C-alpha cells in the first residue's frame, strides 16, 4: 500500500504543476514512475491512461461549448490515432534501453522548447491539411512509442507554422484522448496491467488537474512554473542518460 501511496503523491504533484503550466504530466510521470520501481512498459501504459483521464473531461466540456473547428482537428485526430497505434507496436520491437535513451533526448528537446521557444506571430487561420497531418502523425507516433502526450510534439510544430496558440490548445484537448486511448489499448494487449495502480494514478491525475486549475485563479506565474518544470525535465533526462 505504501508504494501505491507514493505513486498517488507523485502523480498528484506532477499533474498539479503541469496543469499550472498548461502541459500534460505524462512526459515527467513516465520516467519518474520508472525510477521509483515500475517497469518502463507499465510506466508508459500508466502515462497514456493518465493522458486519457485528464483530457477526456476537458475535451467533453469544449465540445459542449462548440469550441472545436472540425476542419482543424479532424486531420489531427485521424493521423495521430493511426500513428499512435503504429508507434506503440514499433516500441515493442525496440530494446527498452534504447527507448529510454530516445525518451531522455526527447525530454531535453521539450525542456529546451519550454525555456527558449517563442511563438511566431499568427499568420492566419489556415487549414493546411499537409501540415496538420504531419503534426498529428509525429505527435501520435511519439505518444504511442514513448507513452507521453502527443501534444508536446504537435503544439510546437503548429506554432512554428504560425497557428494560433489558443486554437492549438483547444484543438489538442480533443486530439489527445483519441491517440492516448488507442496507444493505451495497444499496451494493454501486451503489458500485464495493474488495475489498482491505474485507479491510483487516474485519481491522482484528476485531482492534480483540479488543484492546478484552482491555483491558476490566484494568478501564479505560469512562466515561473514552466522554468521549474524545464529544469526538472533536464534533471530527469540527464539521470536517464547516466543510468
Query: pLDDT by residue (tens digit) across 38-55?
Result: 999 999 999 989 888 877
Q: Are 124 and 162 in contact (CB under 8 A)?
A: yes
Number of domains in the chain: 1
DSSP 120: P
**56 pLDDT band (50/70/90 cuts)?**
confident
Domain containing residue 148: 2-242
Q: 138 is written with which cell numbers?
A: 509525429
DSSP state of 1: -
Burial code (b: 16+ CB inside 10 Å, e: under 16) for 218-241 equals eeeeeeebbeebbebbbebbeebe
Exposure on the CB side of residue 136, measured as CA atoms within 13 A: 27
| More confident: 185 or 155 | 185
Mean pLDDT, residues 84-110: 91
pLDDT digits (tens, 9 = 90+) for 138-165: 999 999 999 887 887 888 888 778 887 7
State the maximum Cα–Cα separation within the chain, in Å, rounded to a whole number: 52
Distance CA 162, CA 47 (A): 29
Q: To 10 degrees, what angle do helices 40-64 and 26-35 make?
A: 160
Note the pTM of the prediction, 2 decimals: 0.81
CB 102 within 8 A of CB 87: no
Q: What is the DSSP code (8-state) at residue 188? A: H
Amino acid at each position: 500500500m505504501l508504494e501505491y501511496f507514493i505513486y498517488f503523491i507523485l502523480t498528484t504533484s506532477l499533474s498539479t504543476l503541469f496543469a499550472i503550466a498548461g502541459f500534460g504530466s505524462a512526459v515527467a510521470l513516465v520516467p519518474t514512475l520508472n525510477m521509483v520501481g515500475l517497469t518502463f512498459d507499465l510506466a508508459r501504459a500508466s502515462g497514456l491512461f493518465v493522458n486519457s483521464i485528464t483530457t477526456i473531461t476537458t475535451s467533453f466540456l469544449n465540445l459542449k461549448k462548440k469550441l472545436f473547428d472540425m476542419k482543424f482537428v479532424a486531420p489531427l485526430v485521424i493521423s495521430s490515432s493511426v500513428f499512435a497505434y503504429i508507434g506503440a507496436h514499433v516500441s515493442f520491437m525496440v530494446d527498452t534501453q534504447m527507448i529510454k535513451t530516445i525518451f531522455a533526448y526527447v525530454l531535453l528537446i521539450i525542456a529546451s522548447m519550454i525555456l527558449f521557444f517563442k511563438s511566431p506571430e499568427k499568420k492566419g487561420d489556415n487549414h493546411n491539411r499537409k501540415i496538420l497531418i504531419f503534426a498529428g502523425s509525429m505527435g501520435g507516433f511519439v505518444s504511442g512509442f514513448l507513452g507521453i502526450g502527443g501534444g508536446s510534439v504537435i503544439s510546437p510544430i503548429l506554432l512554428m507554422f504560425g497557428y494560433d496558440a489558443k486554437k492549438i490548445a483547444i484543438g489538442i484537448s480533443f486530439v489527445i484522448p483519441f491517440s492516448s486511448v488507442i496507444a493505451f489499448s495497444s499496451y494493454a494487449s501486451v503489458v500485464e496491467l495493474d488495475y489498482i495502480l491505474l485507479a491510483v494514478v487516474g485519481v491522482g491525475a484528476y485531482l492534480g488537474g483540479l488543484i492546478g486549475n484552482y491555483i491558476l485563479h490566484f494568478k501564479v506565474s505560469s512562466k515561473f512554473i514552466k522554468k521549474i518544470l524545464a529544469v526538472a525535465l533536464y534533471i530527469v533526462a540527464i539521470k536517464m542518460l547516466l543510468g
